[in-house]
Amino acid sequence: MTFMGWLTIILFAVILTALALPLGSYMAKVYTGRRVFLSPIFAGPERFLYRILRVDPEREQDWKSYAKSLLIFSLAGWLLLYVILRTQNAFFVPHALNPLGYHSAPWNVTFNTTSSFLTNTNWQYYGGETTMSYLSQMLGLTVQNWLSGGVGIVVAVALIRGIIGRSGKSLGNFWQDLVRTVLYVLTPISVIGALLLVSQGVIQNFSTYLTAHTVTGLSQSIAMGPVASQEVIKMLNTNGGGFFNVNSAHPFENPTGFTNLVEMLLVLIIPAALVFTYGRMTGNRRQGYAIYTAMMVMFLGAAAVAYIAEAHGSPAQHLAGLHTHVISGSGGGNMEGKEQRFGIAGSALFDVVTTVTSCGAVNSAIESFTGIGGAVPMANLSASETIFGGVGTGLYSMLLYVLLAVFIGGLMVGRTPEWLGKKLEAREIKLAGLGILITPLAALFCTAMATASHGGRASISELGKGPQGFSETFYAYLSQANNNGSAFAGYTGFVQPNAGSVGSHGVTFADLLGGFDMLFARYAPILFALAVAGALAGKRVTPGGLGTMRTDNPTFVVLLIGVVILVGALTFFPALLLGPIVQGLSGHLY
């Protein structure tokens, strides 16, 4: 470990908070319909979009109507994406947008990929530069990078409206929220972010792959493409599906230590800002600060454990005779699967940033992390996106836990639980409980199915022996259930073709199980969150009394952290013990 490593983690948290505060209040203005400094630019396009979409933005929707619009829009997006991916080399696709003439992946891989991008998971059973045309990357994947994140954000906004709503059942208007998210939040950050990334070396072109002739007489083929425009939104909307197979480890996606910092900030900026938006919209900013503190404490804890574990090095390294301590000119540590320019701290922090959220981008190979280092992303996933979480999904997941914490706190002091002046009753608690349990349930059920069947074992890599094979499997379904998309990349649902050959070949079992895992664990919690919003929306607000448990003080922060960790640990500890912890506690090789 180095001083610079720790400094990176601390400064990252400081910069993030400094940026998220103003963005949070900006977003609160956007979603309450107030004028913002970008209104002169976007008010016109906003009205234009309502007109061609035939939307009346004033039409108020209750939770069922809101959910219906959301589901139908998602279905339309699913179908279009599936068609785009399956017609990759059809006659109407211009050669310039599929310069290598890639064929489409088969139906099972495409089912998985389509579900993956719709659900903001971006699990990838394909290698970008060896299977995807430029057109598929842009018209298919980039579009859902924007929209799946947008859908997550509007659900969080709707839930906030339900929590604060004093009369009626309205949660706002789905189309209005979506259009505003795309225009006022995603467009400015994406355009500026993409250009910033290009200025640092991320590529953006439609050239065919290069062939270089090296000074030692070898030839090297180099993949190209419109990367920056996809890279920025992949991070910003916590999607995480890389343009290239190795995602943000690729120098064309993430060329320097500086871009690494920018990309990490892009991932957390909206999830962090939304917490402050919540505080603003409830009229008590301390509510936001309390949740933010709980998230930040867990985040920094995870980052510290990952950094210490990776800096220590792996049993394989030590038994081979490598010394992994810091020496002059080298940071040491477990550099297997890590890039020199990011080093140990930049890789460990990136890993934590992308697994507490639903991003799942990687700048290093998680499969090669040490046992404890690899247990950190799994523990992050076990927290079900409550530590910042995905855009929107993080806030609404955490608010369900807040509800649970208030309920448990109420039981402890023996009073009817109240939250922001509203009495919590059986219906809300049941819905929140289901919303919380559905993701772990999907993850564990699918892991059990995959480890207990021949179909599942086919996906474990050759190297994945012993606990590593279990870790691969568990991680795969945990990651897909949490709509994360990062992977122990040895686990596979496809067979990578040689560059230039016809499509990949799917492992149907893994493709389908993973696809359903993602769809179920995405849309069921959305419905429960919206139902909770609906249940809370009409409730009368009574002023808090002396006995009311406050949700904006340190006691509550501790209680909330306790609830998150307790639920995660009770659900996942047995599975974590079987895989990464066994490896982390023993120096044994398999």
Please say which residue, 299 or 556, places its beta carbon nearer to other proteins: 299
Contact positions with other proteins (CB under 8 A) in 312-341: 313-317, 319-324, 327-341
DSSP codes joined into one string, 452-521? HSHHHHTTS-TT--THHHHHHHHHHHHHHHTT-----TT--SEEPPPTTSS--EE-HHHHHHHHHHHHHH
Closest approach, Cβ 392 to other proteins, in A, equals 17
Q: Rule CB under 8 A: say whether 586 interacts with other proteins.
A: yes
**Which residues between 143 and 162 bind other proteins (CB under 8 A)?**
143, 146-147
For the bound state, the minimum distance from the C-beta of residue 225 to other proteins, rounded and expressed in Å, comes to: 10
Asked if 63 touches other proteins (CB under 8 A), the answer is: no
- 187-210 in b/e form (b: 16+ CB < 10 A) is bebbeebbebbbeeebbbeeeeee
* Whether the Cβ atoms of residue 134 and residue 100 lie closer than 8 Å to each other: no
Q: Are 463 and 473 in contact (CB under 8 A)?
A: no
Residue with tokens 């608690």: 429
- Total number of residues binding other proteins (CB under 8 A)? 137
Interface residue with other proteins, options 133, 173, 259, 393 (CB under 8 A): 259
Q: How far is the CB of 84 from other proteins (least distance, A)?
A: 8
d(CA 116, CA 121): 5
| CA dihedral of residues 559, 565, 571, 575 (deg, nearest 10) | -170
Where do the H-state alpha helices sit in 32-62?
Answer: 39-53
Q: In the numeric block, which tokens belong to residue 208?
A: 């065919």
Nearer residue to other proteins within complex by CB, 115 or 583: 583
CB-count burial class (<10 Å; 0-12, 13-18, 19+) for 556: buried
What character string, x for contact with other proteins (CB under 8 A) and - otherwise, covers 263-282?
A: --------------------
Q: Is 11 in the site for other proteins (CB under 8 A)?
A: yes
Q: Does 76 bind other proteins (CB under 8 A)?
A: yes
Residue nearer to other proteins on the CB measure, 131 or 439 = 131
170-229 residues near other proteins, rule: CB under 8 A: 175, 182, 190-191, 194-195, 198-207, 209-218, 220-224, 226, 228-229
From the list 159-167, 382-390, 404-412, 496-504, the region that binds other proteins by CB under 8 A is 496-504
Task: Give residues 127-146 in contact with other proteins (rule: CB under 8 A).
Answer: 127, 129-130, 138-140, 142-143, 146
- Closer of 258 and 573 to other proteins (Cβ): 258
- CB 505, min distance to other proteins, A: 16
Half-sphere CA count of 439, side-chain side, radius 13 A: 32
Q: Does 499 sit near other proteins (CB under 8 A)? A: yes
Q: Work out whether 77 is an interface residue with other proteins (CB under 8 A).
A: yes
Which of residues 1, 8, 240, 456 is near other proteins by CB under 8 A? 8
H or E element that contains 423:
strand 422-423
Closest separation in Å from C-beta 136 to other proteins:
10
Taking the C-alpha atoms of residue 420 and residue 403, their distance in angstroms, rounded to an integer, is 11
Letter string b/e over residues 464-496, b meaning 16 or more CB atoms within 10 A of that residue's CB = beebbbbbbbbbbbbbbbbbbbbbbbbbbbbee
